[in-house]
């Protein structure tokens, strides 16, 4: 009985494909990667495409074209990627025969992003694939700096590779950051949609490709026992934690420009929040899901400078020990100013002004050089009335909670109270765990595998729409305006290897709440 139920849950044949419903079959196409010599291509994109090929999920016919400035041949680029696959593939050893078949579809085109003649060379290469879908169905992956997005989109339009009115399909995939504030995001979106429809632009956030993030909607809207509790009547507060064990390291120059608020809150954390709190969509079609996410983001109360002072905490790590290793302070990291006020940690309290969540605080925190690398959502339910067991057991009686573990060890945990065996009336919080690995015994695809496949088939559910980006920036900009260049206070510094500054604990203590340390789901 159990195995048959599990099979029905896991089976695409019985329950459809991704979030957007029954999966479409991928059509023959060519994937063009701009920035093909970069780290993202070697570490994520080619391994993801190789694993899709291994799982027989790629189109029956496809090509992958790398476009970059360095002088390489098809053979030398393939060898570089083969060496990288040996290091970054999630399955080892690499199947050599399968790789050889896959590699025959890899081509390299040397070119400069600002040289129109090189785009003509790219067009000629694509034309050599024939006049069918390998030439017409095109996925452009811009693994390059956002400052170059507009130029590349304009160039591929002028050489007739990107067309708003084509009977075939062309799609442009772009990586974050999508601007550094609302004004720059608006300008970037205007550049992208000058030569492409919004429906052709796929803004990728790899967090949305994680199994448990996608399972949030399934968990909420297919289980009546939980959906009835998912509101202000039952929920006391919600905590979203994205912690990183690593420090800034060699990314000091980038971090000086971004900080934790722009780097993590504006995209990953607000996206997770929108899925946790959104209303049920009218269908599982991409636009229906994204409509509800935007409505939720627009319901988040914007913070005034006075609100920021009460509801937002910055933090910056100083030297400390993480996992037995001595780590330098942020101001001692390469390319970081010795008097920098950039935040490596941020905690905030957000309120959602809608019927479902009125009065329920959402606490978000993220930081560098914390004790664990963990992403999770904890839904804390209201405590029982202070009578019966609550009155007798006092602090031993814990409030119920559901924890959605996004990484690592993806899974879901339910926390409730249980009687300790024996003659006395002892109580202890206990947990029920669900783990993807132990329950399904199947591989969990990497986020880029799922997102690339969705881009190929044209399902935009897991990608970010223009109004989502701009609404999220409105929230973040209101916080940055509240900071207004103010220096960090002593209560906002924290030692590397701890869970953040004292001020973050004070933030929750205002309402009698405490941060809960992430628990490992075995």
**Catalytic residue list:** 268
Quote the CA–CA distance of 120 and 156 in Å, as a whole number: 9
Residue 282 class from Cβ within 10 Å (0-12 exposed, 13-18 middle, 19+ buried)?
Answer: exposed
Q: At 403, phi and psi to the nearest 5?
A: -115, 125
Q: Where are the alpha helices (DSSP H) in 426-493?
A: 436-440, 447-457, 466-483
Maximal C-alpha separation, the chain: 85
Which phi-psi region, left, alpha or beta, contains residue 341 (left: φ > 0; alpha: ψ -120 to 50)? alpha
Quote the CA–CA distance of 483 and 306 in Å, as a whole number: 10
- Chain centre distance of CA 339: 31
Contact 146, 35 (CB under 8 A): no
Quote the CA–CA distance of 339 and 60 in Å, as a whole number: 56
Q: How many C-alpha atoms does 104 have within 13 Å on its Cβ side? A: 6
Quote the CA–CA distance of 210 and 450 in Å, as a whole number: 8
Two structure tokens written together for 212: 């448990």
Q: Report DSSP state, residue 327.
A: E
Helix (H, G, I), strand (E, B) or coil at 481: helix
**Partner residues linked to 316 by β-bridges:** 493
Peptide bond into 177 cis (omega under 30): yes
Quote the CA–CA distance of 429 and 413 in Å, as a whole number: 12
Quote the CA–CA distance of 357 and 467 in Å, as a whole number: 22
- Beta 201-204 vs 493-495: how paired, if at all? unpaired
Helix (H, G, I), strand (E, B) or coil at 510: coil
Contact 376, 405 (CB under 8 A): yes
Two structure tokens written together for 516: 């809960």
CB atoms within 10 A of CB 112: 12
Two structure tokens written together for 307: 């609100």
Quickly tell me which residue has 């490709």 as its tokens. Answer: 209
E strands along 340-425, which residues?
Answer: 345-351, 361-367, 374-381, 401-407, 411-420
């Amino acid at each position: 009985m159990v195995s048959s139920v599990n099979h029905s849950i896991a089976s695409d044949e019985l329950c459809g494909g991704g979030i957007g419903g029954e999966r479409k079959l991928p059509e023959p196409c060519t994937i063009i990667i701009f920035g093909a010599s970069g780290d993202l291509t070697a570490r994520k994109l080619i391994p993801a495409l190789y694993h899709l090929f291994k799982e027989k999920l790629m189109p029956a016919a496809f090509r992958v074209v790398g476009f970059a400035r360095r002088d390489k041949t098809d053979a030398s680029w393939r060898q570089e990627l083969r060496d990288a696959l040996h290091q970054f593939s999630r399955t080892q050893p690499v199947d050599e025969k399968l790789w050889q078949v896959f590699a025959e579809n890899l081509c390299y085109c040397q070119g400069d992003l600002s040289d129109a003649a090189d785009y003509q060379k790219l067009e000629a290469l694509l034309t050599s694939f024939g006049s069918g879908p390998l030439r017409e169905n095109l996925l452009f992956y811009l693994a390059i700096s956002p400052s170059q997005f507009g130029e590349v989109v304009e160039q591929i339009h002028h050489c007739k590779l990107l067309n708003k009115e084509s009977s075939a399909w062309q799609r442009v995939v772009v990586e974050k950051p999508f601007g550094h504030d609302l004004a720059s995001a608006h300008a970037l979106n205007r550049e992208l949609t000058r030569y492409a429809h919004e429906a052709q632009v796929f803004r990728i956030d790899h967090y949305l490709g994680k199994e448990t993030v996608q399972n949030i909607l399934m968990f909420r809207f297919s289980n009546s026992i939980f959906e009835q509790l998912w509101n202000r009547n039952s929920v006391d507060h919600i905590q979203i934690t994205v912690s990183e064990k690593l420090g800034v390291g060699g990314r000091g120059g980038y971090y000086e420009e971004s900080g934790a608020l722009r780097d993590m809150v504006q995209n990953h954390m607000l996206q997770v929040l929108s899925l946790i709190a959104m209303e049920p969509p009218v269908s599982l079609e991409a636009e229906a899901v994204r409509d509800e996410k935007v409505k939720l983001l627009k319901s988040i109360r914007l913070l005034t400078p006075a609100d920021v002072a009460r509801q937002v905490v910055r933090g910056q790590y100083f030297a400390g020990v993480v996992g037995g290793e001595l780590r330098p302070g942020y101001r001692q990291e390469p390319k970081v100013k010795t008097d920098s006020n950039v935040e490596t940690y941020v905690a905030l309290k957000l309120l959602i002004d809608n019927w479902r969540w009125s009065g329920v605080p959402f606490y978000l925190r993220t930081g560098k050089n914390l004790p664990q690398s963990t992403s999770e959502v904890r839904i804390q339910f209201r405590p029982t009335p202070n009578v019966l067991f609550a009155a007798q057991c006092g602090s031993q009686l814990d409030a119920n909670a559901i924890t959605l573990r996004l990484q690592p060890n993806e899974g879901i945990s339910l926390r409730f109270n249980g009687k300790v065996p024996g003659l006395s009336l002892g109580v202890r919080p206990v947990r029920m765990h669900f783990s993807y690995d132990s329950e399904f015994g199947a591989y969990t695809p990497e986020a880029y595998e799922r997102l690339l496949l969705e881009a190929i088939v044209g399902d935009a559910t897991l990608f970010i729409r223009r109004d989502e980006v701009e609404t999220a920036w409105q929230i973040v900009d209101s916080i940055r305006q509240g900071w207004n260049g103010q220096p960090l206070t002593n209560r906002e510094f924290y030692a590397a290897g701890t869970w953040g500054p004292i001020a973050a604990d004070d933030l929750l203590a205002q309402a009698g709440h405490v941060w809960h340390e992430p628990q490992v789901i075995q």
